[in-house]
Structure 1
Amino acid sequence: MHRSPRRLAAVALAAALLPLTACGSGSEGADTSEGADAAGGAFPVTIDHKYGSTTVDAEPERVVTVGLTDHDAVLALGTVPVGTTDWYGTHEAAIGPWATDLLGDAELPTLLTDTGTGPQLEEIALLQPDVIIAQYAGITQEQYDSLSEIAPVVAQPAEYVDYGVPWRQQTETIGRILGRADEAEQLIADVDALFAEARAEHPEFAEATAIPASPYEGYWVFGGEDPRSRMLTDLGFTYPEDVDAVIGDEFGANISEERTDLLDQGTVVWSVPDPEEGAEQLHQDPLYGDLAVVTEGREVFVEENSDFGVAYGFSSVLSLPYVLDQLVPRLAAAVDGDPDTEVPVAR
C-alpha cells in the first residue's frame, strides 16, 4: 500500500489517541494456551494468523471488520461493528436482510470502501477501533503492518488460501476475539444441523459433483476453499479434484476455453448479474452449451446482486440459513436427472 503523508498522519493520530486493548506479536506459532479458557469469555486470548499472532487483552468494544463477511459473525455474536467493509455495494453498511434485525437500536456501522488499494487507513483510524478483524480477507504483510499501527489486527489464517477461511473457523475465531466462544460454538452447531437435515433429505447430493462458477472474463470457477464450494460440499456434493488441480493455490481462477470440459459436473451453480441473459450467452458458446450439464438441465442460476445472491456469496454463519432455504430445492431439481424439471432462478 502506498503510504501518503495524509495516511501516515491519520495513523499517527490514532496511535497517539488510542490506548490499545491488545498487542500483536510477529512470531509464528505463538503459544495460544493462555486463551484456552476463552470459551467462558476469559482474556487474554492469543490467536495465530498468517502474519504471526495477536493477543486480545480485554473484550473489544469498538470492532472494525476488514474481512468482507466478518461482520456477519460479529453481529451474530451480539456486537455491532463500528465499521464494515463494502463488497457488493448493494446493502446499506454491507448488512443484508438476514442480519438487519441484529442491529437493534445501534447506529449503522460506517461503511469502509475498498477502492482496490486495500483497507482505507484514514477512515479506519478515525473510528478508533479496539480490534480490526480480517478473517475473510486477503490483506498483505504491508497492509497488516499499517493497520497494526492503528489497532491490533487478527489477519486471515495461514492454513487456508486468502479469502478461503471456512465459515466455521471464521465464526470460532471471532467468538474468541469477542470473548464469546461458547456462543460461537452454538451458532456453528445450529447451522451444522441445517446441513445435516439437507443431506438426510437429499442423499442424491452425495452421488454428484458440484462447482460454483461465474462468467467473469470467460469462465471463472471458484476453488474448493471458496465459501460457496465449502457450502456445496457441506451439503454432500463432491468438489472435483481435477478442477481443484487446475485452479491451484487460489480461491478461484479462470479456465481456458480448451478446458470447458471441467464445467461438465453434476451441477454448476452460476452467479450472474442477469440470469436469463447470462444463461443465453453461456448456452450460445458451443464449447459449453453442448455439455451434458446444459442439455440435461443441471444448472442453477443465481442473480448475484440480489439479496439471495449476496447471501450466497457471503456463505457466512448468519447468511447460510437464508441461503439453504432457497438453494437446496433448486439443487435437488438440478440433479434429478430429468432435463424437463424446471430449476427456478435464485433471487
Structure 2
Amino acid sequence: MPRSPFPSPRRSLALLLPAALLVLTACGEDSSADDDGGSASGGDGSFPVTVSSDAGEITLDDRPEAIVSLSATATEMLFAIGADDQVVAVDDTSNFPSGVPTTDLSAYTPNAEAIVGFAPDLVVLSDDINGIVDALETLDVPVLMLPAVDDLEGSYDQLRLLGEATGNGDGADDVVADIQERIDAAVASVDGAGEGRRVYHELDPSFYSADSTTFIGSVYALFGLENVADGASGDNDGYPQLSAEYVVGQAPELIVLADTVCCGESAATVAQRPAFDTVPAVQQGRILEASDDVASRWGPRIAEFTESVAAALDG
C-alpha cells in the first residue's frame, strides 16, 4: 500500500489505512470506543480524570507533564490545544508544528524501553504495533490509542479527549470551534460549486485513492463532490488502487494530489500522463497540489486542507 506523507510511499499511508489492510499500521479502529477514538469524564481541567480510548480506560491522577507522542496527528493536536509544554518527545514522523521535540522514536517499530527512557506519564499513539500497549502498561505507563478516524466528528472527539487527558479542555474546545468555523466558511464560499463534480484523490502515482468512507472522503462530501473511487470494485477498505484508464474514464473535474512530497507529483507531471490531457481537471487547471502531511492527517490542519479544496473549486 502507498503511504504518502513521508519520503517513501510505502511508509506513510499507515497513518491512513485501517488496520485490516496493514501489517505495520499506524491506525485501526475499534467499535468498543464508539468509533470516535475515545471518551472522557470531567472537563474542568481538574484531576483525577478518567478517559477511554482504543487502548482501554485509564485514570490520570495528575496533569501529565511528560507526554510522549508516537502519532504525527496526535502531536499536531497536542500542540494545537495548548499541551506543548507537556510534550517531552515525539516520534520521527512528527514534523509539525515547527520546534516539536522530534526524536528517533519510531511509530512503526515502537520500543518500550526507548519510550520509557523519556520517563513519560502519558503515551499517545495511533496503533498497537507489536504489543506496545501491553508492554507500556506492564511498565505502569498510561496509554491513549487514537486511531485514524472516518469523519470530522471523530477528529473533534479525539481533540476533546486529549484536552480532557491533559488538562486543556478549554483549548481543545477552542480548536474544535475554530476548525468548524473555517470549514463551514470554506464550504459556503464556493456556493455549491462542487455539487455533482467528480474528484479524484491520489495517494501515490500507482493510483491508490480514498473513497467516501474515509476521513478525507468525508471532506469532499461536504462540497457535494462525487468521489470517483466510490465506483471501484473489490474489498479495499476505503483505499482502492485504481488505474490510469479508470481515472481517465471517470473524467474527474478536480484532482487532488497527496503525493507531491513523497513522489514529486504535480499538475505538470499529471498533464504529461498518457490520455490525461482529455481529463476536465487537467484541461481546466483544477489540480490541487496538496501537502502530503496535511492531506493525510486528521488533526487541526484539516481546516487548511478544506480551504484549499474550496480555492481549487472556486479558481
For normalisation by structure 1, the TM-score amounts to 0.65
Instruction: Name the counterpart of 1:143.
Output: 132
Is the alpha carbon distance of 1:281 and 1:157 closer, same or farther for their aligned partners in structure 2, counting shifts above 3 Å?
Answer: closer
Give matches, 1:1-347, under 5 Å: 35-49=40-54, 51-80=55-84, 81-87=87-93, 94-97=95-98, 109-114=101-106, 116=108, 118-134=109-125, 137-140=126-129, 142-150=131-139, 151-157=141-147, 160=149, 166-207=154-195, 208-216=197-205, 218-224=206-212, 226-234=214-222, 236-238=223-225, 240=227, 243=230, 246=233, 250=237, 252-261=239-248, 264-273=251-260, 278-302=266-290, 304=291, 310-317=293-300, 319-320=301-302, 322-323=304-305, 328-333=310-315
Percent identity reads: 17
Alignment partner, residue 104 of structure 1: none
Q: One-letter code of the match for 2:46?
A: G
Looking at both structures, which has the greater relative contact order when contacts are Cα pairs under 8 Å and sequence separation is at least 6?
A: 2
Aligned partner letter, 2:122:
V
CA distance in 1, matches of 2:287, 2:169: 38
What's the offset of the Cα at 1:324? 5.5
The 2-side partners of 1:169 and 1:29 are apart by: 11
Q: Distance in 2 between matches of 1:83 and 1:262?
A: 47
Give yes or no for contact 1:166–1:230 (8 Å, CA) kept in 2: no
Corresponding residue of 1:4? none
Is the 2:295–2:302 Cα contact (8 Å) retained in structure 1? yes
> Unaligned 5+ residue runs, structure 1?
1-27, 88-92, 101-107, 334-347
What is the root-mean-square deviation of aligned Cα atoms in Å?
Answer: 3.6
Distance in structure 1 (CA, Å) of the matches to 2:280 and 2:249: 12
Calculate the TM-score normalised by the size of structure 2.
0.71
1:132 deviation in Å? 0.8
Counterpart Cα distance in 1 of 2:61 and 2:238: 33
- How many angstroms apart in 1 are the aligned matches of 2:40 and 2:265? 52
Counterpart contact for 1:223–1:247, Cα < 8 Å: no
- AA aligned to 2:158 is Q
Aligned length: 275
Partners of 1:52 and 1:325 in 2: how far apart?
A: 35
In structure 1, the partner of 2:10 is: none
Counterpart AA for 1:269: V
5+ residue gaps, structure 2: 1-31
Larger radius of gyration: 1
